[in-house]
Structure 1
Amino acid sequence: MIAMQYSFTLPADYDMQIIARRIAGKGGMTDDFPHLAFKAYLSATRENPGLPSRDNLYAPFYLWRNEKGMNAFLGGPFKALCESFGRPSIKVWPVWQASLKPDIREAAFATRELLDIPVDADLDAWRLRERDRTLHDTAHGALAAVAAYEPTGWTAVRLRLWRERPSPAQWQQAYEVGHVSAPSLETLSLG
Structure 2
Amino acid sequence: MIAMQYSITLPADCDMAIIRRRIADKGHLLDDCPGLAFKAWLHAARGDRELPSRDNLYAPFYLWRDSAGMNAFLNGAGFAALSHDFGRPRVHTWIPWQAELAGDLRGAACATREIATLPEHTDLAELQRREAAAVHAAMADGALAAVTACHPGDWTLVRFRLWPGARTDFAGPARQAYRVGHVSQPR
TM-score, normalised on structure 1?
0.94
Q: Provide the C-alpha distance between the structure 2 equivalents of 1:182 and 1:167, rounded to a whole number of angstroms.
A: 28
Tell me the residue number matched to 1:178.
Answer: 181
Paired AA for residue 181 in structure 2:
G
How many residues align? The count is 184
- The percentage of counterpart residues that share the same residue type is 57
User: Residue 113 of structure 1 aligns with which residue?
Assistant: 114
Q: Which residue does the alignment assign to 2:97?
A: 96
Gaps of 5+ in 1: 185-191
- Aligned residue number for residue 73 of structure 1: 73
The alpha-carbon distance between structure 1 residues 170 and 133, as it changes in their structure 2 partners (threshold 3 A), is farther
Give deviations 1:44-99, integer Å, cap 9, x for gaps.
Answer: 00021111100000000000001011001001021111111110001000000100
SS in structure 2 at match of 1:115: strand
Tell me if the contact between 1:109 and 1:166 (Cα under 8 Å) persists in the aligned partners.
no
Residue in structure 2 matched with residue 27 of structure 1 by the alignment: 27
The alpha-carbon deviation at position 132 of structure 1 amounts to 1.1
Contact 2:12 / 2:46 at 8 angstroms: preserved in 1? yes
Q: TM-score, normalised by structure 2?
A: 0.95
How do residues 1-191 of structure 1 correspond to structure 2 at under 5 angstroms?
Answer: 1-76=1-76, 77-168=78-169, 172-184=175-187
Residue pair 1:24, 1:179 contacting (<8 A) in 2 also: yes
Distance, in Å, in 2 between the alignment partners of 1:135 and 1:168 is 18
Hey, which bits of structure 1, 4+ residues long, moved more than 6 A?
none
CA contact (8 A) 2:170 2:177 kept: no
Check the 8 A contact 1:112/1:173 in 2, yes or no.
Answer: yes
For 1:52 and 1:170, locate their aligned partners in 2 and report how far apart those are by CA, in whole Å: 7
Which residue identity lines up with residue 7 of structure 1 in the other structure? S
Distance in 1 of aligned mates of 2:165 and 2:58: 20
| Aligned residue type for 1:102 | G
Query: 1:168, 1:9 → 2: CA distance?
Result: 24
In the aligned structure 2, how far is the partner of 1:19 from the partner of 1:148? 27
Check conservation: 2:112, 2:170, Cα contact below 8 A.
no
Give unmatched runs, 5+ long, in structure 2: none
